Amino acid sequence: MRSIVFKIIGALVLLAIGVFLGKSFSSGPEENTVPMPSSIGYRMAGSSSDTLVAQTVTYDGEIIEVRQGGSIQEAVKAASPGDLIRVYPGTYSENVYIDKDNIGLQGVVIQGEWPTLDGKKKINDAFLYSGNGILIENFKIINYKGNGIMGQAGNNFVIRNNWIIDTGVYGIFPQYGKNGLIEHNVCSKIEDAAIYVGMCDNVDVLHNEVFDNVAGIEIENSRHCLVENNYTHNNTGGILAFVTPGLPIKTTFDVIIRNNFVVNNNTANFGAPGSTVAGIPAGTGILIMAADDVIVENNIITGNNNTGITIVDLATGAPKANDPNSEGNPDRTIILDNIMFDNGNEPTGEIKAIMLTQMDTKGPDIFAYGGGTGSSIRDKNRYRTFGLDDWGAAQITDTKDVRTYMLPEPVAPRSVSTEELGELTYYGVCAGCHAFGNRLIGPPTEIIQAIHNGDPQSIVDYITNPENLRDDYPEMPPQDYLSNEAKMAVAEYILAMEP
């Protein structure tokens, strides 16, 4: 009896303290008064159009809250287009896939505590979206095996304020999307590209910090991209704009790389053997390979031990690639004024050999090699250069007329045919582990073709629920987040592939 009374008194005292604390600190953060991060502050003031991009998709439907112990995926299942899912601090070990349009996912950071998606090195991807108008912001994402945030064919995306560490192959990877914004993210320890814009159009990559990755920011087979105000340091390569042959979209052009810090990108390459980025020499500041109309302006590029900027054709940079439909020369590169010093202190491989033929033991600030026409530079004397003899004088002084490459209005949702869906799923998902004629992480696609010839359903069944068939291969992760339509499309695509 006495102890119960004491407990009640004790509880009342605690309650009183709670009320007292609540009162005296009521100006502190309370969960229901946590402000929604404003989308407006991040855009450049005075942009040529007054429409702020991030406002063009709004989430004014229901607000669905997820707290520690809850499931983000369940919230997505319950959500309708226009809803905002707010995730409170806690650890969520999930793979979240979003196949609806106009869903906002917003972490709520309280007193420095982030909602954290932890893949525990067991789960492949944190966020996978195929919807249009997806927002993903304010999440900490750690320890995944595949991707932190991956998009497949979603237009009008916004990915910002995320903190992504060691999420496997890619950190942020929108693929085949149009009109997107990637800003204010911090990404590290990614074994391929930290920010990988693949087969996209009209994407701005702004104010991100990427470090300790193989590739910092990669613009690949993408058009109309602005890479501005980023800090890329201590990667193997800082910023890359290039064409990978063999993909359904063949070109990279109209890329502005402006106002970035590209510093000390000398980390030894730890990319998976056989991947494109595994060939990037440590010490690469900026790499332009087979991309056209790339403008490099007003960056600070220093301490990159191989070269500051490398411009090469595919024959030099990716000699084994063979795609008759990819034009391999970097044409019309423009280098405006940049600050470059202290690059090339320890050149490696071909650059070292070539520089030695010039009686030089240092790598240059700017190194151009192989084909390409129409390139120009504003003031060659500012830099130590190699291979720029046929470059002309730049006809422009700056790019200030281009405030953004995003579009003032959301574009129509992307609709893809079954064949395109198969191709995209194959290159977006399967090709990370399967190549046509050789072993990657999984067996060659031609072997899959032979085993499953004429029976696409058997591929669908396997990828939905894979079993470990071979002693000398790891287990394949289940692909059950793909829609049935995408599974069948990719199965048919694989069976129809030709060498």
Pairing of strands 201-206, 223-228: parallel
Nearest to 464 by CA among 435, 446, 490: 490
Indicate the Cα dihedral angle 384, 389, 394, 400, nearest 10°: -40
Contact 39, 24 (CB under 8 A): no
Give dist(CA 459, CA 455) in Å, integer. 7
Closer by beta carbon to ligand HEC, 119 or else 347: 119
Nearest to 366 by CA among 349, 389, 332: 389
Closer by beta carbon to ligand HEC, 392 or else 474: 474
Beta bridge partners of 84: 63, 104
Closer by beta carbon to ligand HEC, 375 or else 479: 479
Look up residue 42 and give its DSSP letter. Answer: T
Closer by beta carbon to ligand HEC, 391 or else 493: 493
Closer by beta carbon to ligand HEC, 382 or else 439: 439
Three-state DSSP state, 125: strand
| Nearest distance from C-beta of residue 471 to ligand HEC, angstroms | 8
Note the residues at the interface with ligand HEC (CB under 6 A): 425, 429-430, 432-434, 441-443, 448, 451-452, 459, 462-463, 468-470, 473-477, 479, 490, 494
| Nearest distance from C-beta of residue 448 to ligand HEC, angstroms | 5
| Nearest distance from C-beta of residue 176 to ligand HEC, angstroms | 15
| Nearest distance from C-beta of residue 485 to ligand HEC, angstroms | 13
Closer by beta carbon to ligand HEC, 240 or else 435: 435
| Nearest distance from C-beta of residue 197 to ligand HEC, angstroms | 20
Give dist(CA 52, CA 45) in Å, integer. 9
Closer by beta carbon to ligand HEC, 289 or else 429: 429
| Nearest distance from C-beta of residue 296 to ligand HEC, angstroms | 34
**Is the dihedral angle over the CA atoms 190, 192, 198, 203 positive or is it negative?**
positive
Closer by beta carbon to ligand HEC, 367 or else 481: 481
| Nearest distance from C-beta of residue 274 to ligand HEC, angstroms | 13
Sheet containing strand 215-220, edge to edge, reads: 96-98, 125-129, 147-152, 170-175, 193-198, 215-220, 237-242, 284-289, 307-312, 366-369, 385-386
Give dist(CA 341, CA 361) in Å, integer. 16
| Nearest distance from C-beta of residue 216 to ligand HEC, angstroms | 23
Residue owning tokens 């709520």: 108
| Nearest distance from C-beta of residue 478 to ligand HEC, angstroms | 10
Strand blocks (E) in 313-356: 334-335, 339-341
A 10 A CB-CB count for 113 gives: 12
Closer by beta carbon to ligand HEC, 50 or else 471: 471
| Nearest distance from C-beta of residue 287 to ligand HEC, angstroms | 26
Closer by beta carbon to ligand HEC, 292 or else 423: 423
Q: How many Cα atoms within 13 Å fall on the side-chain side of residue 487?
A: 18
Q: Which two tokens stand for residue 244?
A: 């990978």
Give dist(CA 477, CA 436) in Å, integer. 19
CA 340 distance to own-chain centroid:
26
